């Protein structure tokens, strides 16, 4: 199958990057050669519990489409090598796998983690902000496994904690450019997020990004945040 080329808009906002408010978006100055070097041929592991947006994010990165109907991933599924564009610069993403989000999938998670260059761990930001106990407990269990894999790995994977579904938080929809940073800080300072960062950062620095996959615009903005962090 021939590689498919998609276009990913690059935009950032005040503070930590655009998180869904059009008014906060500005044009980013990006060194395209750095992007090419940083992302070319990378293999991506997208991990997280069920209904966090793993398949949606993976499909958006690899083929440029958002999923209209959600179906849980029960068994690992291969995704083909794809090529996408950032301002006319082609980036090739290696073939990877879409894995399920149950605790029984930890073995598949570990295999994908060990084979990958970039690790995206997705968590429901809306539920964490509500201090949902079940979500907090699952996140802690996941990150304990991931920390162990980081310690075992001979590669220097770049790890991202990605908060999704911000659009389901009523406060998110009322964000203004002057309080974007406050919203991001509130997420970062949640006990579960702080613990996630500390658990993984004991071995390697961790990036925290939040946003939404509600529509193409918000997906573009979230993916752009992630790729900008890859360059740092």
pLDDT in tens, 161-208: 999 999 998 888 888 777 778 888 888 898 888 877 777 666 667 888
Residues in contact with 19: Cβ distance below 8 Å, sequence separation at least 6, in sequence order: 13, 166, 172, 175, 180, 183, 184, 210, 211, 212, 221, 222, 225
Q: What is the pLDDT of residue 131?
A: 92
- Identify whether the C-beta of residue 44 lies closer than 8 Å to the C-beta of residue 113: no
Rounded CA separation 45/30 (Å): 24
Phi/psi zone of residue 64: left (φ > 0), alpha (ψ -120 to 50 degrees), beta?
left
Rounded CA separation 186/193 (Å): 10
- Residues of the chain with pLDDT below 70 are 1-41, 62-103, 200-204, 231-232
Which domains are assigned to the chain? 11-230 (3.40.50.300)
Structure tokens of 63? 């083929």
The whole-model pTM stands at 0.71
Rounded CA separation 204/150 (Å): 8
């Amino acid at each position: 199958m021939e590689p498919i080329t998609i276009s990913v808009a690059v935009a950032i906002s005040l503070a930590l990057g655009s998180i869904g408010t059009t008014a906060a978006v500005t044009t980013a100055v990006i060194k395209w050669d750095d992007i090419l070097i940083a992302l070319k041929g990378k293999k991506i592991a997208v991990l997280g519990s069920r209904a966090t947006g793993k398949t949606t994010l993976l499909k958006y990165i690899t083929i440029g489409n958002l999923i209209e109907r959600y179906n849980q991933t029960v068994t690992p599924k291969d995704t083909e090598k794809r090529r996408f564009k950032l301002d006319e610069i082609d980036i090739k993403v290696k073939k990877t796998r879409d894995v399920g989000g149950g605790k029984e999938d930890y073995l598949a998670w570990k295999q994908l983690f060990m084979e990958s260059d970039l690790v995206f761990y997705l968590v429901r930001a809306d539920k964490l902000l509500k201090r949902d106990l079940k979500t907090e407990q699952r996140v802690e269990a996941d990150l304990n496994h991931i920390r162990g894999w980081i310690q075992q790995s001979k590669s220097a994977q770049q790890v991202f904690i990605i908060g999704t579904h911000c659009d389901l938080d009523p406060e998110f929809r009322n964000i203004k450019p002057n309080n974007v940073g406050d919203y991001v800080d509130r997420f970062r300072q949640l006990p579960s997020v702080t613990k996630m960062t500390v658990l993984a950062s004991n071995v390697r620095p961790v990036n925290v990004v939040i946003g939404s996959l509600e529509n193409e615009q918000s997906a573009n903005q979230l993916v752009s945040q992630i790729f900008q962090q890859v360059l740092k």
